[in-house]
Structures are given as C-alpha cells and as structure tokens.
Amino acid sequence: MRLRIMVTAIALSLLPMCARASSFVYNLDVSLTGGTVTGTITTDSDSGVLATSDILDYDLTLNDGINTLNLLGPLSGDNSELEIEGTAVTATAAALSYDFLADLSYFAIESPALHTGTNFFCLNDPNASCSAGGDSNVAAQIGSDPVFAGPPINGVGVFATAAVAPPSPVPEPSTMILLGTGGLGLMGMVRRRLSC
C-alpha cells in the first residue's frame, strides 16, 4: 500500500513537467487610415479554426487620432462583447489569420454590446462592410467619430502575431536521472521495511 502511495506521489510530482500551456497570447497591431488598433488577444488554441468560445480574453486600444477607447474581454474588465461567425479566423503557433474571402464570416468586438454600431473593431468578408457602407473589410470606430478603415483585402491576412513567451524551464537530463534514482531509492527503502 505504501509503495503504491509512493509511486503515485512521484508520478504526480512529474506532471507539471509534462503539462501543456492552456492559453496563447497574440499581439495585435493594425494600422488603418485614420487610426490604429493595438493590444492582445488570448485564445485557448494555437491551431485550427477559432470560434467565439475559443477567445478567452482580449485587451484592445482603439485610437482614431482624436480619442482612444479600450475594448476589454471577460478577464480584463469586460466592457464589450466578441463574436466570431463562420470559419474565417484561424490560429497557428505564429499568428491569428483571417480569410477575407470566406462568405458569411466576421470577427467583431463591440462595446457595450454587439450590433450597436459604434465602439467596434471588426473584420469581415467582402460581401459585408464593417464600415457601414464603405468598401473596407477591416474597420474600427469610437463613438460618433468617423470610421477608420483599411483598404479592401482579398485573401488571407495576418491580424495578430504570437507573443514571444519566455522559454519554459526544461529540466536537464542529469536532474531527471537524479530525481528518478532518488525515487527508486525511496521505493526500495519502503519495500525493505514492508518485507521485514
């Protein structure tokens, strides 16, 4: 019984070394005619098509040269809503991309709620328009200030790049050998006591 407890304790102590990151941070830095959108987007995946539920948080700053506005996700302050429609948003270990040729797709963050028509950042397919009548499929707006937008994009475009995280400490082989032989020694001591 004690041997089983010892083996379990050793196995549990090694789990953090095998754990995979549960969130991925991407830096967004978009320059549009008349303004910029900068900040971070945090996802739960770094591969494949993303849905609304895959976005864990965001902290974006809209700046139109006159005013600035922060759009904050659920972990950063929760003053806006986000929605992804369709399959245009994809994640890789290096970047978040948007397929501007994907029909019936959009990525929108808007404050205080979706579909209010102000305080937004959005990306959408060529058959719709973020800029309410313009021809751009990347746009942002703060209050009643003019919409700031980019030229139409026809293809896949990167809109955020992976944040460079500090490397995780990797145990040296000698540390793992020392830990393993120590565990074997403890198991041997427990077994010897049980057999006496």
- What's the rounded mean pLDDT across residues 26-38? 94
In percent, how much of the chain has pLDDT > 70?
77
More confident residue, 8 or 195: 195
pLDDT at 188: 74
Q: What is the pLDDT of residues 89-120, one digit of tens each?
A: 999 999 999 998 888 889 999 999 998 888 99
Alpha carbons 19 and 47: distance in angstroms, whole number: 17
pLDDT at 167: 53
3-state DSSP call for residue 33?
strand
pLDDT at 69: 96
pLDDT at 8: 55
- What's the rounded mean pLDDT across residues 7-31? 66
pLDDT at 149: 86
pLDDT at 30: 93
In sequence order, the 6+-apart residues with CB closer than 8 A to the CB of 196 are none
Closest CA to 144 of 52, 57, 31, 64: 64
Alpha carbons 106 and 25: distance in angstroms, whole number: 20
* 187 confidence band (pLDDT: 50, 70, 90): confident
Q: Are 45 and 54 in contact (CB under 8 A)?
A: yes
* 193 confidence band (pLDDT: 50, 70, 90): confident
Amino acid at 167: P
3-state DSSP call for residue 22?
coil
3-state DSSP call for residue 7?
helix
- What's the rounded mean pLDDT across residues 62-86? 94
